[in-house]
Amino acid sequence: MISREPTIERLATAQRLLLEPFGLNETHLSRALGEITAHRVDDADLYFQYTRSEGWSLEEGIVKTGSFSIDQGVGVRAVSGEKTAFAYSDDISEASLLDAARTVRTISAAAGNGRAKVGARKIAGGRSLYQGLDPIATLDSTAKVQLLERAEKLARSKDPRVAQVMAGLASEYDVVMVARADGTLAADVRPLVRLSITVIAEQNGRREVGSAGGGGRFGLAYFDDERIETYVSEAVQAALTNLESRPAPAGEMTVVLGSGWPGILLHEAIGHGLEGDFNRKGSSAFSGRVGQRVAAKGVTVLDDGTITDRRGSLNVDDEGNASQRNVLIEDGILRGYIQDSLNARLMGVKSTGNGRRESYAHIPMPRMTNTYMLSGTRAPDEIVASIKKGLYATNFGGGQVDITSGKFVFSASEAYWVENGKILYPVKGATIVGNGPDALTRVTMIGDDMKLDSGVGTCGKEGQSVPVGVGQPTLRIDGLTVGGTA
């Protein structure tokens, strides 16, 4: 068997699933785009998607739910200036395609010579960051159920205080194809899996929760016995630690954030503020500050969609642009924003490969992929030992941020009280309050232990959810406000 170049292979897969069953070919796509660009528009594209997903969940020792779904459709978009006209349909046919094209072209009522013309066919360059496999088919149903049962039994065997175990396994096979007015054709085949484990521990009438899990763009064989053991141990340990927790002190104090998942604070408090749409509109706290110092020296923040097998990575974004490794903040200096095509055009810059959408039924917008801070030079133990009185937060739950002001609120799901460099006891109910741009200037120590999260992140923006990654080294931030329960 002769293998084809991955970009060509992905395009062939997309055509086989998204065009051929409906009697469509590239000529039909050009005709639909021609209908749109007959009017004065700046850009136009067609976004086809086929998604097959499966989920299993276990609770109280038995599989409570199993689900399977298939969704497919096409989104048709025209852009004129800042305006976007969009239509979508789960009926992939020539008639639906042309009807949607005629609908969206009314964004510009005047026919004639617009800036967007249907260009000659060209296949977009893309990356090869993950295999184009169907993860649902990498384990049979019996093996999937056994995997969840194995995790449940292992968690219960760890400690008699484990009262309840919940486990979930999700798989998705996503095939997308983009046809742009300039003739660009792009496709991607995106596997995605995730294993989640939640443990409830009980002692003397008190119940506490711990959770762990991970995933990425690969098959279910990734979840071998060793990895399941790691997730289960983390979830059980978190629950047992919280059983010993005391009310968190409140006030302004030094806060040390652990490596890995605590980068969710960086994602929310800073990452969203660096998305192009907010900055073009002047509604971000970072608007107009490119080239200025926005963080302490040593702080370098990237958004990188090119990391192999990562949950937030993409071979091409949802506009057909290759993903990139974008340096947003370099040694404390703001270098740029993440961009989709529309906002990049209006701001006079290039797309950074960050045009993302939840599905064919949504418009693209600038979104993060894998957002993280680079390592510094300090040992994590040294950073914790530097705390006179303060909080050491190693895991986070939910959080909120106001993009305009940069203010954020995050709840720590696992944290410890530290005095004179010694971890004294775990605390519960700690809420970290601050301002993203201000917090960056208060970073005083950066660890040498940068770690990405285990592959569990999902980001929401304007009603759309997409998979993302986060990461950071251990960080010391001075003068943050902690809302506690003590």
What average pLDDT does the structure give for the chain? 94
What pLDDT is recorded for position 484? 76
Provide the residue count of the chain. 486
Q: HSE-up of 29 (CA within 13 Å, CB side)?
A: 29
The least confident of 151-160, 251-260, 379-388, 396-405 is: 396-405
Given a cut of 90, whether residue 265 has pLDDT beyond it is no
What pLDDT is recorded for position 404? 85
Average pLDDT of 259-284? 93
Given a cut of 70, whether residue 116 has pLDDT beyond it is no
Give residue-wise pLDDT tens across range 276-333: 999 999 999 999 999 999 999 999 999 999 999 999 999 999 999 999 999 999 999 9
What pLDDT is recorded for position 121? 78
What pLDDT is recorded for position 244? 96
What pLDDT is recorded for position 2? 46
Given a cut of 90, whether residue 412 has pLDDT beyond it is yes
Model confidence band, residue 375 (pLDDT cutoffs 50, 70, 90): very high
In this prediction the pTM is: 0.95
Give residue-wise pLDDT tens across range 126-147: 899 999 999 999 999 999 999 9
Decide which of 266 and 304 is more confident. Answer: 304
